[in-house]
């Protein structure tokens, strides 16, 4: 029971006397018991707050929302209060107000998407100890917060292997958003994967400093393609949409142009369509949807991992490469699978930070 409801119940107890107080106590116990047991379809609810990339960023906000919707469907929940919902952040100043708004609406678990939400969740979780929170791509050390991280470097390594095996120019690019640990893991893994196949390739790395400015991604991609780069891996959220725009414009101008994009977080195949062609080589999937469902199910079962950090990698379907739809030939896919097995077996330890 939330503090607001408890306070109201206590006032009624004091006003109505012993009989009503006894009824209120029974209801409190019933609510507490249902929470500890995980509840049922009708009394368990989840929600999320996006970062500035937005709910339709074709990236990890969208993936998180897909996970929440799938959890809702599996548990017969309706969108809205008492079921599942989201609030979108237009800028960082919205994080605290959005988290507070969902807390007031009594959702059982509130997810915050993105490293930049660490401070807001840390503050609110300390104030609202009766609500459980989860942060994706960040760590908040509070007993009512579950921290969710991924081994992005493992999936990015496979993307690097694919790029090194597919490049015709031996020039490969990486466009990142903000230079923060989670994106640095993408860079480190990608560069390591490229170098595992072709040690002489120096990956052209550019950070745009933003996750929501497509024009910056487009400018970075334009410079890279013009320099001879034929494959760019982006880890830049909405900024990465500009990478796709630049590649598609070049493909439209010249159907024989060798320009490819490796997408990130979600399968970005649809973003690469150019008439009857497609410039998306593959995408490095970050299965935020799987992680959200896992945490939600644990919470529903009364096993919310508050105070813990859960890390999802290749071994538990936390990261993967998307179906290339024929863009990558089978012999290359077989080589990628060999590297995947070596990582899973511990033969290759992928670095988390670029050298």
Chain segment 150-177, per-residue pLDDT in tens: 999 999 999 999 999 999 999 999 999 9
What pLDDT is attached to residue 42?
53
Q: Are residues 339 and 193 in the same domain?
A: yes
Shared-domain flag, residues 199 and 162:
yes
Q: Residue 31 domain-assigned? A: no
In this model, does residue 4 exceed pLDDT 80? no
**Portion of the chain with pLDDT greater than 90, in percent:** 81
> Percentage of the chain with pLDDT > 70?
88
Structure confidence at residue 355 (pLDDT):
73
Residue 98 and residue 49 share a domain: yes
Say which CATH number the domain at 145 has.
3.40.50.2300
Q: Could you tell me whether strands 172-176 and 204-207 are parallel, antiparallel, or unpaired per DSSP bridges?
A: parallel
* Distance, CA of 319 to CA of 153 (rounded, Å): 9
pLDDT tens digits for range 257-285: 999 999 998 899 999 999 999 999 999 99
Instruction: Please tell me the pTM assigned to this model.
Output: 0.82
Burial state string for 295-329 with b = 16 or more CB within 10 A and e = fewer than 16? bbebbbeeebbbeeebebbbeeebbbbbebeebbe
User: Is residue 162 located within the same domain as residue 87?
Assistant: no
Domain of residue 68 covers 44-150+289-315
Q: Is residue 1 part of a domain?
A: no
């Amino acid at each position: 029971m939330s503090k607001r409801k408890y306070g109201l119940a206590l006032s009624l107890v004091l006003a109505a006397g012993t009989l009503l107080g006894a009824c209120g106590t029974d209801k409190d116990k019933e609510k507490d018991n249902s929470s500890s047991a995980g509840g049922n379809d009708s009394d368990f609810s989840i929600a999320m707050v996006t970062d500035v990339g937005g709910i339709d960023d074709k990236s990890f906000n969208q993936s998180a929302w897909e996970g929440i919707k799938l959890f809702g469907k599996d548990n017969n929940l309706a969108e809205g209060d008492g079921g599942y919902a989201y609030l979108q952040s237009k800028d960082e100043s919205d994080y605290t107000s959005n988290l507070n708004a969902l807390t007031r609406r009594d959702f059982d678990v509130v997810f915050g998407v993105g490293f930049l939400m660490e401070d807001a969740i840390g503050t609110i979780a300390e104030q609202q100890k009766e609500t459980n929170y989860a942060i994706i791509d960040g760590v908040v050390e509070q007993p009512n917060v579950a921290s969710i991280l991924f081994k992005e470097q493992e999936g990015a390594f496979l993307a690097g292997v694919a790029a090194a095996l597919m490049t015709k120019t031996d020039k490969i690019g990486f466009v990142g958003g903000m230079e923060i640990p989670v994106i640095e893991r993408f860079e480190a893994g990608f560069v390591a994967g490229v170098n595992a196949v072709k040690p002489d390739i120096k990956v052209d790395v550019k950070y745009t400093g933003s996750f929501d400015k497509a024009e910056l991604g487009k400018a970075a991609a334009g410079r890279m393609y013009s320099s001879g780069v034929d494959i760019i891996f982006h880890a830049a959220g909405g900024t990465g949409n500009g990478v796709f725009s630049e590649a598609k414009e070049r493909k439209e101008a010249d159907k024989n142009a060798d320009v490819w994009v490796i997408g990130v977080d979600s399968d970005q195949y649809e973003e690469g369509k150019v008439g009857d062609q497609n410039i998306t080589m593959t995408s490095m999937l970050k299965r935020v949807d799987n992680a959200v469902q896992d945490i939600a199910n644990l919470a529903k079962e009364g096993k919310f991992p508050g105070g813990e950090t859960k890390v999802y990698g290749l071994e538990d379907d936390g990261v993967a490469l998307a179906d290339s739809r024929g863009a990558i030939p089978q012999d290359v896919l077989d080589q990628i699978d060999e590297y995947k097995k070596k990582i899973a077996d511990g033969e290759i330890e992928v670095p988390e930070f670029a050298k």
